[in-house]
Amino acid sequence: MIGKPFEVGRVKSGGRAKGTRNLISEAFLTDLLAEWKESGAAALKVMAKTDQSNFVKVTAALLPKELDISDSRLSEMSDSELDEAIEYIKRQIAERAVAIREREDSPTLN
């Protein structure tokens, strides 16, 4: 009967009883929670030591797939305020570069 899941004139069987899938899911999750409370932390410790690659995969799977970072502070600044901020940052970078060069050029005790 592949390719014809719905025959014309076939009497409806009603399918599975309403809520059956939910009952199974709920029972499974209840059992899983009980086992997690008993041995979940210990299982994670074992996995972290013996299967580090999958430990990282499990951890990464729990993280959000997308991060929406919206910071409106820059959009609220005027053009002149943005220009001032850019100039300030450029000065800071230049000052750090000078300090690094001075450290590199200074004689060491070794």
Residue extents of the structural domains in the chain: 19-63, 76-110
Identify the pLDDT of residue 66. Answer: 85
Least trusted range by pLDDT, from 4-13, 29-38, 73-82: 4-13
The owner of tokens 């230049």 is: 94
* Global pTM value: 0.40
Give how far Cα 88 sits from Cα of 61, 79, 95, Å. 40, 14, 11
Give how far Cα 65 sits from Cα of 44, 53, 60, 68, 69, Å. 22, 19, 9, 10, 13
Report CA dihedral (54, 59, 62, 63) to the nearest 10 degrees. Answer: -130
Of 59 and 17, the structure prediction assigns the larger pLDDT to 59
pLDDT in tens, 45-103: 999 999 999 999 999 999 988 877 787 888 889 999 999 999 999 999 999 999 998 88
Give the pair of three-digit tokens for residue 63.
């993280």
Cβ atoms of residues 54 and 47 within 8 Å: yes
